[in-house]
């Protein structure tokens, strides 16, 4: 399909050739942010403090643990040293890390690089001890990385370049031949300081990555290795990609899903973005085959997520103001900004056709009946 993954921004032909990759962990491969949502708020409440949601959502992203701890102690005037804060809060984080899920496309990318013998490293601002704990809950990850580095193993963490420079050195690859994939501005700055190519897959709050990265993606599902001189993915089934099932719940209103929140946060990470297909169950009764487009409302100053639901068989049995549960099983392509809120009829029919041809194939997860 000619339009597949057409939303790459700032794509530049790599020169020299990319021989190795360096991947960030939190927010790039693993959705630890959502898994640990509420930990800082709960901790601050013990000291009679109220968390500033907006500040914590932007200020601390990508920072080292030491820098983040110092900032929180200062911002909230806590009667603790940064080291005391770390000692008290880390056990609370550890209880949550086991629930962190791989972000869309993460397992696929790791498997692809490993199977093709492409060396790749994990370089995170977390301490090495905490990296090992986080990835211990992800089957096969630790064995796949040629190098794993934490900020405590180098002179300074991101945005300094030392993590990436050391990772390249340990892989015996020149920095100029490395491609970094990051989600945060501090990570992108570190990669550029290390003289490396960088792909950014940022959440909404890290839009500043866009101007510095070589390429900006909404999701790892949009990553095309061949653009960097690497072997292409071979898992597409005609014009559709089987993916690990994604579940979402919300109120269906006039063709859109108002996503339910968990503790005030949306269940879907920002990196779930694009045209998908799967199954929808309404009020635990009838199941429909659906095309799901997930993007952003560019007209809103809040850049809110927009989830458009289209019944594949054209049924009108699904009325508004009903609870809907969705199981997404396939990915079609990225969305342009114009398609986020309105997909033209011809393109929508193409998406329906792709979905209909794919949903009964054994390569795609089937509706499990329990969404």
At 283, is the pLDDT very low, low, confident or very high (cuts 50, 70, 90)? confident
Mean pLDDT of 229-242: 96
Catalytic residue among 24, 31, 67, 239, which?
24
Q: What tens digit of pLDDT does each residue of 61-90 get?
A: 657 788 889 999 999 999 999 999 999 999
Mean pLDDT of 123-152: 95
* Whether residue 235 lies in the annotated active site: no
Q: What tens digit of pLDDT does each residue of 318-348 get?
A: 667 888 999 999 999 998 766 655 677 788 8
Catalytic residue among 26, 31, 67, 183, which?
26
Residue 296 pLDDT exceeds 90:
no
Mean pLDDT of 4-19: 63
* Whether residue 172 lies in the annotated active site: no
Residue with tokens 């015996």: 172
User: Which pLDDT score is estimated for 337?
Assistant: 66
Q: Which long-range contacts (CB under 8 A, 24 or more apart) does 255-262 make?
A: 255/308, 255/309, 255/310, 256/306, 256/307, 256/308, 256/309, 257/292, 257/307, 257/308, 257/309, 257/324, 257/326, 259/305, 259/307, 262/37
Residue 265 pLDDT exceeds 50:
yes
Do the beta carbons of residue 364 and residue 275 sit within 8 Å?
no
Residue 27 pLDDT exceeds 70:
yes
**The whole model's pTM is what?**
0.88
């Amino acid at each position: 399909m000619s339009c597949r993954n057409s939303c790459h921004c700032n794509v530049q032909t790599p020169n020299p050739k990319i021989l190795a990759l360096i991947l960030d962990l939190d927010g790039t491969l693993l959705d630890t942010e959502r898994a640990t949502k509420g930990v800082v708020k709960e901790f601050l409440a013990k000291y009679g403090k109220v968390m500033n949601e907006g500040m914590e959502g932007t200020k601390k992203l990508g920072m080292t643990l030491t820098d983040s701890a110092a900032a929180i102690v200062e911002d909230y005037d806590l009667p603790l040293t940064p080291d005391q804060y770390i000692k008290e809060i880390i056990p609370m984080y550890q209880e949550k890390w086991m629930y962190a899920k791989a972000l869309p496309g993460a397992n696929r990318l790791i498997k692809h690089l490993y199977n093709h013998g492409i060396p790749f490293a994990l370089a995170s601002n977390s301490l090495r001890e905490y990296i090992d704990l986080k990835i211990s809950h992800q089957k096969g990850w630790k064995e796949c990385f040629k190098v794993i580095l934490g900020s405590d193993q180098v002179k300074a963490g991101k945005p300094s370049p030392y993590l990436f420079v050391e990772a390249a050195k340990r892989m015996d690859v020149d920095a100029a031949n490395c491609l970094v994939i990051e989600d945060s501005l501090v990570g992108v700055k570190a990669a550029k300081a290390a003289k490396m190519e960088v792909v950014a897959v940022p959440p909404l709050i890290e839009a500043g990555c866009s101007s510095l990265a070589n390429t900006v993606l909404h999701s790892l599902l949009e990553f095309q290795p061949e653009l960097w001189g690497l072997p292409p993915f071979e898992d597409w089934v005609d014009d559709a990609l089987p993916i690990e099932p994604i579940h979402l719940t919300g109120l269906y209103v006039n063709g859109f899903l108002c996503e339910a929140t968990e503790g005030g946060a949306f269940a879907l990470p920002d990196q779930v973005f694009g045209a998908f297909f799967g199954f929808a169950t309404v009020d635990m009764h009838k199941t429909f085959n659906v095309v799901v487009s997930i993007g952003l409302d560019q007209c809103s100053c809040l850049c809110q997520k927009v989830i458009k639901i289209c019944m594949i068989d054209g049924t009108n049995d699904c009325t508004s103001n009903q609870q809907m549960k969705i199981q997404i099983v396939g990915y079609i392509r990225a969305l342009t900004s114009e398609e986020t809120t309105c997909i033209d009829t011809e393109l929508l029919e193409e998406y329906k056709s792709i979905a209909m041809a794919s949903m009964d194939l054994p390569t795609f997860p089937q509706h499990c009946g329990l969404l």
